[in-house]
Amino acid sequence: MTKYVIKGGKKLIGETCVSSAKNAVLPIIAAATLTDEDVTIKDCPEIADVFCMIKILESVGAAVSFKNGDLTISAKSIDRFSVKSDLCGKLRSSIYMLGALFPRFKNVCVAYPGGCNIGKRPIDIHLNVVKSFGGDVDERDNGAFCRAEKLVGADVTLCFPSVGATENALMLASLARGDSIIRNAAREPEVKDLADFLNSMGAKIKGAGEKTVYVTGVKKLHGTVYKPIPDRIEAGTFLLAAAIAGGEIAVRGACAQNIVPLLDKLRQNACNLSVENDIIHIKSGIRRKPFSLVTGPYPSFPTDLQAQTLVLAALSEGESVIRENIFENRFSVAEELRRMGADVKVYGNAAIVNGVKSLYGGVVGASDLRGGAALCLAGLAAEGETVVLNARHVERGYAAFTEKLGSLGADIAVAED
């Protein structure tokens, strides 16, 4: 079992660079199978979720090469249309294989996906999208079987602006016959990035990043070379690390306009922020102030930064209120933070946080990706030594996490039991 050992109390100083966005790369990897020509993804992050997605592609017959940060995919050799349950069970993003394989082969079986234990994330919305484009869906205990003679353009209204469902709809619509409209679409930057990737392959998508997206289907997509957008969640995590541990750092390769709600909270928390092109500079404040935030679909505060921000609230003077409107089980980190001395009470989808002067090191366990990162940030500020168990969760989504923190002056080491 991988664990992180952190000795707190060291301020962060220096510069780090963010990787390409995990939440952009995973659907792009799946979408690379929409063509039988080679696709190369530049600067692909070396994280566990990417390697899991590679195994999924290889399991259906695709050829994959990952060298020097460039991931090249050839889907010409795909000869299987059933994604194994043991692979799907490890990764929520395996659901993207539904929208990726179905348009080309009109036949796909996808086992129910896994991923972080942060609450119910049903796939009904994805299957309804498939039905909208003319697919027949047979749900069984071990997965969903989808078939169609042809895919036809559709006018789809999502019941919720789901990122995954929007992205599956984009893939399906790109190769469907005729025009499609996707209403109540997710507006996240990663959705727009997938649309830009598909357009670079010859798709005809307009309006991605807005509530209504228009797609004209094409007969065939071609290969491409593409560099995904920077990871706004990683950028936010490092900015929060500086705000929590104290210090002054620069985060290079970030896109400030994609994390405006976080930057606003950091400024409210007495942090000094400045933006210069793709570099965000932060200097921690002397007196941390309480705040309130509500997570929601983009452009609201991102749920993937909620747990890390909870740590900041735990060290801010006064009472902060955090409401989680995306997942119902995303306060699991609260119990672990209480072990470190935090005063956090959870009531349904709300956490009431009364700030304390100090956190204290101890042995805590990560149960999901972002919660694990949050515990690491707490360890940076805590007195004494903090051991974060199940650190493999963090490695699912952050490339060279301990190395980057170490380069900023953090005392963090990887150990194996």
The domains located in the chain, with CATH, are: 2-19+230-416 (3.65.10.10), 22-226 (3.65.10.10)
pLDDT digits 0-9 by tens, 274-316: 999 999 999 998 889 999 999 999 999 999 999 999 999 999 9
Residue 27 tokens, joined: 């659907």
Q: How far apart are CA 234 and CA 333, in angstroms?
A: 18
Residue 340 tokens, joined: 């470190």
pLDDT digits 0-9 by tens, 84-111: 778 887 898 999 999 999 999 999 998 8
pLDDT digits 0-9 by tens, 319-363: 999 999 998 888 999 999 999 999 999 999 999 999 999 999 999
The answer to whether the beta carbons of residues 174 and 218 sit under 8 Å apart is yes
Per-residue pLDDT, averaged over 233-250, amounts to 99
How much is the pTM? 0.96
Phi, psi of 123 (to 5 degrees): -105, 10
Amino acid at 58: E
Q: Provide the H-helix boundaries in 294-345.
A: 306-314, 333-339
Per the residue annotation, which of 116, 146, 271, 376 is the catalytic one? 116
pLDDT digits 0-9 by tens, 36-82: 999 999 999 999 999 999 999 999 999 999 999 999 999 999 998 88
Question: Does residue 287 or residue 190 have the better pLDDT?
Answer: 190
Q: Residue 382: is it exposed, middle or buried by C-beta count within 10 angstroms (0-12/13-18/19+)?
A: buried
Residue 330 tokens, joined: 């995303």
Residue 77 tokens, joined: 């050799």
User: How much is the mean pLDDT over the chain?
Assistant: 96
Which helix (H) or strand (E) is 23 found in, with range? helix 22-31
Of 288, 252, 286, 161, the C-alpha closest to 213 is 161
Instruction: Identify whether 116 is a catalytic site residue.
Output: yes
Looking at the chain, how many residues does it have?
A: 417
Amino acid at 269: N
Residue 207 tokens, joined: 């309006």
Find where tokens 């664990």 sit.
3
Residue 68 tokens, joined: 């020097």
- DSSP class per residue in 281-307: EEE--SS----EEEB-STTSB-GGGHH
Q: How far apart are CA 7 and CA 207, in angstroms?
A: 47
Whether the per-residue pLDDT at 393 is higher than 50: the answer is: yes
Residue 301 sits at the vertex; the CA angle it makes with 394 and 407, to the nearest 5 degrees, is 40
